[in-house]
Amino acid sequence: MQSFDTTKKSKVSWSQVLSGLSDYKNYIHMSIHFCCNYSFAGLSNFLPTIIQHMGYTSINAQGLSAPPYFVSFLCCVAAAFLSDRWGNRGILITLFASMATIGYLLLTCVQDESKTAARYAGVWLATCGIFPALALNITWLLNNQGGESKKGAGMAMLAIFGQTSSLISSSVFPDSDAPLYTLGCGLACAFTGLIAILAMGLSAKLTLENRRRDRVYGVVGVNERVDVTEAGDNHPNFRYLT
């Protein structure tokens, strides 16, 4: 299925904007982004500090921060390729979020400062899990909007509310909580676990809706073009990317 919108690029379809503001899917994506951005901002701001408190010098901590970031980039590329190939983003978001949850669980529960290998493994899992989940969630939202103006509304909701979690992450890694930063890592563990639950639930809901539309309106061909200008993703022939 290929959707298209005939609204002029210079115009805003306010009916699509209102549809975006009232769409439950956008609030789920917004919540996922909120949770992702907490971990994203926490890692960006405090990862070298967390590693330094494992017993490394400042310079070595900066160096040890680089490999997880590089591999997380490769994970993002692999996630994009696989999700396009399989036609499913929710399952991959769930898998990567679960990986990040395990990583943050290690950072939260391993309280022995001498067990640097386990804590550094937690850093790897958290980093390589959260970045692909964040990237896939954004593209997943755009895939299922059914209209350019609705995409804009969905992205505005995601960006405005989703970014506010960075304010939380900047305040829950205080120096007084060093060297384990249990509060910040514990919250990240909870948030990444919530990502997995929300993504799995949304994927299941969209799968059921696709099956319902196939049953009621008939199966849609792969190359069929669907005009979403008026009905948006409520068009009988629109099928969601799960």
* pLDDT of 8 strictly over 60: no
Backbone angles phi, psi at 115, to 5 degrees: -90, 65
Return the pLDDT at 26. Answer: 93
Return the pLDDT at 4. Answer: 60
Return the pLDDT at 174. Answer: 77
Give yes or no for a contact between 159 and 17, defined as CB atoms under 8 angstroms apart: no
**Matching residue, tokens 């979690």:** 165
Return the pLDDT at 165. Answer: 87
For range 28-53, the mean pLDDT: 85
**Does the pTM exceed 0.85?**
yes
Give yes or no for a contact between 66 and 197, defined as CB atoms under 8 angstroms apart: no
* pLDDT of 1 strictly over 70: no
Task: Tell me the CATH number of domain 20-204, given options 3.40.50.920, 1.10.10.10, 1.20.1250.20, 2.60.120.620.
Answer: 1.20.1250.20
For range 17-24, the mean pLDDT: 87
* pLDDT of 39 strictly over 90: no
* pLDDT of 7 strictly over 70: no
Band the pLDDT of 93: cuts 50, 70, 90: very high
Query: Cα–Cα distance between 62 and 47 in angstroms, integer?
Result: 9
Tell me the domain boundaries of the chain: 20-204
Band the pLDDT of 103: cuts 50, 70, 90: very high
Give yes or no for a contact between 168 and 38, defined as CB atoms under 8 angstroms apart: yes
Query: Cα–Cα distance between 158 and 145 in angstroms, integer?
Result: 13
* pLDDT of 132 strictly over 90: yes
In the predicted model, what is the mean pLDDT of the chain? 86
Return the pLDDT at 57. Answer: 78
Return the pLDDT at 92. Answer: 96
Give yes or no for a contact between 39 and 192, defined as CB atoms under 8 angstroms apart: yes
What percent of the chain has a predicted confidence (pLDDT) above 90?
Answer: 41
| Integer-rounded Cα radius of gyration of the chain | 20
Return the pLDDT at 62. Answer: 80
Query: Cα–Cα distance between 199 and 155 in angstroms, integer?
Result: 17
Return the pLDDT at 6. Answer: 62
Query: Cα–Cα distance between 105 and 190 in angstroms, integer?
Result: 9
- E strand or H helix that includes residue 193: helix 182-217
Band the pLDDT of 75: cuts 50, 70, 90: very high
Sequence letter at residue 63: G
Return the pLDDT at 233. Answer: 82
Backbone angles phi, psi at 56, to 5 degrees: -100, 155
Return the pLDDT at 236. Answer: 83
Exposure b/e, 19-35, CB count within 10 A at least 16 = b: bbeebebbebbbbbbbb
Give yes or no for a contact between 43 and 126, defined as CB atoms under 8 angstroms apart: yes
Return the pLDDT at 9. Answer: 64
